[in-house]
Amino acid sequence: MIPDLVLYVRAGCHLCEQFLLDLTLDFPSLEVTLRTVDVDTDPGLAAAYGLRVPVLAAAGQVVCEGRYDRPRVVAALGL
């Protein structure tokens, strides 16, 4: 079973936008739920992630942060 993904982002973050683009281009037809969460909408998330965004998590575990890492995403998805 492919885990759901959560991408923690910040509005106006070019790294976040590129990360999301790379992810969707690599896996256009993947049957997975990808939820994006703006860390600035929650003080707890803003404190936890600060300047670390983008952060991709699968099943509650950080897969990669800052830059898109395709091999780690593939491994996390079990592909």
Mean pLDDT, the chain, rounded, equals 91
- pLDDT reading at 62 higher than 80: yes
Domain coordinates in residue numbering, the chain: 5-77
pLDDT at 34: 86
Report which of 42, 52, 58, 45 is spatially closest to residue 6, judged by C-alpha positions: 58
**For domain 5-77, is the CATH number 3.40.30.10?**
yes
Does the global pTM surpass 0.85?
yes
Question: Per-residue pLDDT tens for 29-51?
Answer: 777 778 999 999 999 999 999 88
Task: Note the residue count of the chain.
Answer: 79
Q: Where are the beta strands (DSSP E) in 2-53?
A: 5-9, 34-38
- pLDDT reading at 7 higher than 70: yes
Q: Which amino acid is at 27?
A: F
pLDDT at 54: 97
